[in-house]
Amino acid sequence: MRVPATLVRGGTSKCWLFRQEDVPDDLGRLERLLVGAYGATDPVQLDGVGGATPTTSKAAVVRRSDEPGIDVEYLFGQVGIGVGTVEWGSNCGNCATAIALWSVTRSLVPVTGDVTTVVMRNTNTGAVLEAQVDTRGGVVHEFGTQTVPGTRSGGVAVGLTFLDPAGGSIGAMLPTGEVAGALSVDGEVLRVSIVDAGAPMALVDAPSAGRTGVERLAAIRSEVPRLRAVRHAAARAMGLVAGRTEPADAVPKVGLVGSPAPYVTSAGDPVGGSDYDVSVRMLSMNDAHPAIGLTSAVGVAVANLLDGSVVAARSAAPGRSRLRIGTPAGVVTVDSTGVGEDGPRRVTIHRAARILCEARIFVPGPPLPASA
């Protein structure tokens, strides 16, 4: 097969975007196509277009929406690395940023002056997102100067807002009914907040795990087995899996939360303890996230609004609608508005995107029909 696709950087991720009409409708056939295109069974994805890291082995299938108030819909896939599978159970805010810019360039959404709004629905989770794409001068831009922590390269500015994110995946902002509690993991008791906002996640109080929350990536990588065990225990506690079923690697999100303290970013830039409000070190699949996923940032910001949560307990700005999160790549700012008992109505993060290439991917294997 020769499959048309576009590679787009969104925030700190790279995502191959496919038009719905160019790929199979059947999920099984689509999964086989992506595994072949990415070279997913190879741990370095050498014989494919995958990036061999969780933040660069992503895909989305996009279509124009027929639903009133929604411009485009997308199915997000986290393509496996070293395995022949794709996980379909989550969302990716960085890829949504990429989709917003791509949708404007492809005229799925017409330019409307200096800023063009794109409303998207993630079909994996049902989440609705609103993007504000910089179209100054009434034109689509190929390059921009907006930067985000995790890369010094500029891109087109995109403000990404998650609409009513609390309880979007499971149906309850606090799936266990507790703001924070003890979670037993392999004989160890950790203090954890289990939250569904942006995505289901388990946020571990770093000091209860003997950590600070400002560790370098190498130290977090050494914590991967332990944090995976937290993910598995939390998945059962929030009802994502039952019995001995193995939880997926994409959700729940899991990470360590600590108080602000001075640290040095992965790029060597110093960050002072007063420069941000709370430190977070998240996993991405089964590796340390080089920054923070946007769905995770949303959950951290929502947890900061909850008195008694792990985040609020360690935050220098508990309960505030603006939260500055210290990540390995630098400080990410999240704004929550319309805060009520059911959580905020809108959670916004400022990102950047850039279209990198248009391509036809040569996929090994027999031809697959475009429709099931």
Q: What is the residue-wise DSSP string for 324-352?
A: EEEETTEEEEEEEES-BTTB-SEEEEEEE
Residue in 290, 275, 254 with CA at minimum distance from that of residue 11: 290
Do the strands 346-362 and 330-337 form a parallel or antiparallel pair, or are they unpaired? antiparallel
- Give per-10-residue mean pLDDT for the chain (372 aa): 96 97 97 97 96 96 97 97 94 97 97 97 96 97 94 96 94 95 94 96 97 96 95 92 76 96 96 98 94 96 98 98 97 96 96 97 76 50
**C-alpha torsion 336→342→345→347, nearest 10:** 30
Which pLDDT value is given to residue 149? 94
What the block records as the tokens of 326 is 């210290």
What the block records as the tokens of 8 is 């787009």
Which pLDDT value is given to residue 366? 64
DSSP state for residue 248 in the 8-state scheme: P
What the block records as the tokens of 31 is 């999964």
Residues 66, 164: Cα–Cα separation, whole Å:
21
Do the strands 253-258 and 199-205 form a parallel or antiparallel pair, or are they unpaired? parallel
